[in-house]
Amino acid sequence: MTAPDPEQGPDHGYLLDNRQSEAGIRFGALAELFDPVTFRHVDRLGITAGMRCWEVGAGGPSVPAGLAARVGPTGAVVATDIDVSWAQGAADEVVEVLHHDVATDPPPPGGFDLVHARLVLVHVTDRAEALRRMIQALRPGGVLLLEDADPGLQPLLCPDESGPEQRLANRLRSGFRELMASRGADLAYGRTLPRLLREAGLADVQADAYFPITSPACTVLEAATVRQIRDRLVTSGLATDEEIDRHLTNVATGRLDLATAPLVSAWGRRP
């Protein structure tokens, strides 16, 4: 997942730094949760052999690899990110992995039949410019597929807040949202995607949303995320080390029904 420059300072940039070891665990959990959603849309949009795809903010290797399987040896996939260390594993004859900032760098050359970004733009400071560049990269008839979270639509980690463990989980999730917002994340961005695609001139715009209520991958994702941001939570006064340790113990039992924010998927075609 591409993100603002992490060198911007302690209160700016991507909260979930790809360089941390927990990032690989998160990418695996996100792939398990959301790859079926992404590729359901990709397949409905008719991405097939010989096409060219741009995967923006690739993060891990799963989406570039899935696109490569669909376009085959006569197609091409360009996977870009500010930090390509995790996506590099997808590089082969079909997949080219490039260091790239979608909000400031020109789009990769050549034009694309599909441009896709998942859980990217919510973290990008200049979202409007990033969107403009992705649309610019589409061939006539090409499709833009954007998938982003909307924590404002469903803010709870435990929608069934039935006891103290769930209340603690939801309080820590509130702290996570506060940290994201302080770094420029738009926590209501997902719901705006259909309008933004129409306003940008794309045709046949549609959208849907998905979020799991409980899944083993949600448990893995939550534990990795909390470990990744625990120092931020503590230094910001949003949680104590004791509370974080207690929450991680609760998560490890597997008895909490953990959810994610809705993933809003929106797509439209360049005339």
Q: What are 185-207's pLDDT values in tens digits?
A: 899 999 999 999 999 999 999 99
- CB atoms under 10 Å from CB of 21, counted, come to 9
pTM: 0.91
Distant-in-sequence, close-in-space partners of 197: CB < 8 Å, separation ≥ 6 = 144, 146, 205, 266, 267, 268
Please answer whether residues 12 and 215 qualify as being in contact, where contact means their C-beta atoms are separated by less than 8 angstroms.
no
Q: Which residues contact 10 (CB under 8 A, 6 or more apart)?
A: none
116: phi then psi, degrees, rounded to nearest 5: -130, 140
Closest by Cα among 16, 70, 71, 90 to 79: 90
The string of pLDDT tens digits covering residues 101-154 is 999 999 999 999 999 999 999 888 899 999 999 999 999 999 999 999 999 999
Q: Which of 8-12, 58-62, 122-126, 169-173 has the lowest mean pLDDT?
A: 8-12
Q: How far apart, in whole angstroms, are the C-alpha atoms of residue 206 and residue 90? A: 29
The predicted pLDDT at position 2 comes to 39
Task: Indicate the angle between helix axes 22-44 and 62-71, nearest 10 degrees.
Answer: 30
* pLDDT digits 0-9 by tens, 50-106: 999 999 999 999 999 999 999 999 999 999 999 898 888 899 999 999 999 999 999
Closest CA to 54 of 77, 85, 88: 77
- pLDDT of the residue at 64: 97
Residue 105 CA from chain centroid, whole number? 20
